[in-house]
Amino acid sequence: MTMTGGISSDGLMKTLSDDAKTVLGCCYGVFATPGRSRIAFGMKKSRPTARVQAALDELAEAGAVARVPDPEGGVEYVVQIDCSDFGRWARRNRSKTKFPLTEPVDGTEADPPKP
């Protein structure tokens, strides 16, 4: 269990959906620095799938990530906690982590999220 900013990863592990755990584990579970590491969606060619957006909204509400709007219409999600426990969870639960992160906007070809 890790504790960052008053948020316990053990507590989140018990309350978050598997999709939210997947986003934390797969996007931030290795080498992420709380307050600095982010995923960004430009929202011009691609956007999060509805499933991933619901997970990101859940994570923002729990305080695990901060949603930062981009003035050009995009959005960034900055991790606020140590996600190493979620990285281990994702490696142990690979079958739960296999779903697309992004989808194209208005028929354009999807771009992967910016690291």
pLDDT tens, N- to C-terminus, the chain (115 residues):
454 556 777 889 999 999 999 999 999 998 899 999 999 999 999 999 999 999 999 999 999 999 999 999 999 999 999 999 999 999 999 999 999 999 999 765 555 555 5
Neighbours of 3 (CB within 10 A): 12
The CA distance from 18 to 76, in Å, is 21
Distance CA 49, CA 81 (A): 23
pTM of the model: 0.85
Domain 3-93, CATH number (from 3.10.170, 1.10.10, 1.10.3210, 1.20.120): 1.10.10
